[in-house]
Amino acid sequence: MAGKPSTKLDTYQRMRRFNQTPEPSGQAAEKAMARRASKKAQASALSFVIQEHDARRLHYDFRLELDDTLKSWAVPKGPSLDPSVKRLAVHVEDHPIDYGSFEGYIPEGNYGAGSVIVWDRGTWEPQAGSIDEARETYARGKLKFVLHGEKLHGGWTLVRSNMRGNSDKEQWLLIKERDDEARSEADYDVLLKQPGSVMSDSLGARSKSGEVRERTERKNAARQSRASRTTKAAPPPKRPAVKDQGKSPERPRPDIVANRSGESLRTLADNPAIQDAIRAKLPATMKPQLATLVDIAPSSDDWSYEIKFDGYRVLVRIDREAASKAKSTQPRDRCARG
């Protein structure tokens, strides 16, 4: 959508006081753009950048150059190389091109207060077709592209969802395509494996060289505290298993399924030594989890996205003992309307 440049950066500029924040005002970019537009040539590589923004909540700002601005999404959990992982990407205001090399500290009291580093950058191209076609699909809510970054490579998709956040912002999903660059999240969490800035010296240039490292530790701490929030219904595994614990049977038993995200259930399945678990018979009946219709997605980031199919939810369980005793008393329970 080729609006006037001043219109595109309007929101960005309105939200910031450039006498107080070190972020670029976008005016230089607008001038350069005018120069370029007059030359008309120039269509070479388009840039992308992912900035790690340690604001009130740590997130990753994903930005793709298109039409002389950076189309921008805030990705609370950051990118994942796992094609089965869909990361929420909140569409935010266009940013000026020169924001792509911005690192620094946005002072308290300003919009987005906190530190920003360039976590990755490089160029992008449409997966198929021309930039013009990419522009059209973007306007319709879908963009398939290939990244040539220092950390991220291969095919990716950004697609607008029907979810609505608690603001008027569009909620998109960022998804890795299945290709040679894909890795399973359990295998390789790119955010943990490749922390820090890709800009030489980065924040270290301004203070001492320990700065980046310090940030990384803080980030890891933040991720851990988030992780423990996700799993608070049943504390992380790796603790001594059932038999070492039998002391306080009064202790409330953790509900190992309710309140868990799909991700945390997968973690649990990989590490079944659940703290405080008590060996017992399977319950006589179980209820499937049903979808609840809401207008807005939860504000926390420990939830997962799942397509809701209409129909019946069916729970099937394997209970060898019962099966051998009474083969077909209850061969299957059709549980509930989903």
Could you tell me which residues come within 8 angstroms of residue 236 by beta carbon, excluding any fewer than 6 positions away?
227, 228, 275
Q: Which residue is nearest to Mn ion (CB)?
A: 53
Nearer to Mn ion, 23 or 61 (CB): 61
Q: What Cα–Cα distance (Å) separates residue 289 from each residue in 96, 162, 257, 300, 338?
A: 45, 22, 10, 20, 8
User: Which positions from 151 to 170 touch Mn ion by CB under 5 A, shown as an x/- string?
Assistant: --------------------
Could you tell me which residues come within 8 angstroms of residue 233 by beta carbon, excluding any fewer than 6 positions away?
254, 255, 256, 258, 259, 260
Shortest spacing between CB 72 and Mn ion, in angstroms: 8
**Which among 169, 219, 308, 325 is annotated as catalytic?**
308
Q: Is 77 in the site for Mn ion (CB under 5 A)?
A: no
Closest CA relative to residue 266, chosen from 87, 85, 89, 79: 85
Nearer to Mn ion, 53 or 215 (CB): 53
Nearer to Mn ion, 53 or 121 (CB): 53
Residue in the block written with tokens 């933040």? 222
Among the residue ranges 28-36, 56-64, 238-246, 319-327, the one whose residues contact Mn ion (CB under 5 A): 56-64
Among the residue ranges 15-23, 33-41, 50-58, 222-230, the one whose residues contact Mn ion (CB under 5 A): 50-58
Shortest spacing between CB 195 and Mn ion, in angstroms: 17
Nearer to Mn ion, 110 or 216 (CB): 110
Residue in the block written with tokens 């906190």? 114
Residues in the chain: 338
Residue in the block written with tokens 């299945």? 178
Nearer to Mn ion, 57 or 153 (CB): 57
Among the residue ranges 54-62, 102-110, 201-209, 237-245, the one whose residues contact Mn ion (CB under 5 A): 54-62
Supply 110's token pair. 């300003």
Among the residue ranges 47-55, 158-166, 241-249, 286-294, the one whose residues contact Mn ion (CB under 5 A): 47-55
b/e map 208-236, b = 16+ CB within 10 Å: eeebbeebbeebeeebeebeeebbeebeb
Shortest spacing between CB 113 and Mn ion, in angstroms: 10
Number of residues that bind Mn ion (CB under 5 A): 2
Q: In this structure, what DSSP letter does residue 199 have?
A: S
Shortest spacing between CB 60 and Mn ion, in angstroms: 8
Nearer to Mn ion, 196 or 254 (CB): 196
Burial of 258 (C-beta count, 10 Å sphere; 0-12/13-18/19+): exposed
Among the residue ranges 46-54, 129-137, 237-245, 274-282, the one whose residues contact Mn ion (CB under 5 A): 46-54
Q: What 3-state class would DSSP assign to 171?
A: strand
Count of CB atoms situated within 10 Å of the CB of 331: 8
Nearer to Mn ion, 107 or 235 (CB): 107
Q: Which amino acid, one-letter code, is at 79?
A: P
Shortest spacing between CB 112 and Mn ion, in angstroms: 5
User: Which positions from 57 to 76 touch Mn ion by CB under 5 A, shown as an x/- string?
Assistant: ----x---------------
Shortest spacing between CB 337 and Mn ion, in angstroms: 41
Half-sphere exposure of 249 (CA within 13 A, CB side): 3
User: Which positions from 276 to 305 touch Mn ion by CB under 5 A, shown as an x/- string?
Assistant: ------------------------------
Q: Which of 16, 53, 71, 176 binds Mn ion (CB under 5 A)?
A: 53
Shortest spacing between CB 34 and Mn ion, in angstroms: 27
Residue spans of beta strands (DSSP E) within 55-190 = 58-66, 69-75, 86-95, 104-106, 114-126, 142-149, 153-164, 170-176
Q: Is 308 designated active site?
A: yes
In angstroms, the CA 71 to CA 89 distance is 12
> What does the binding site for Mn ion look like in residue numbers (CB under 5 A)?
53, 61
Q: Would you name the residues annotated as active-site residues?
A: 308
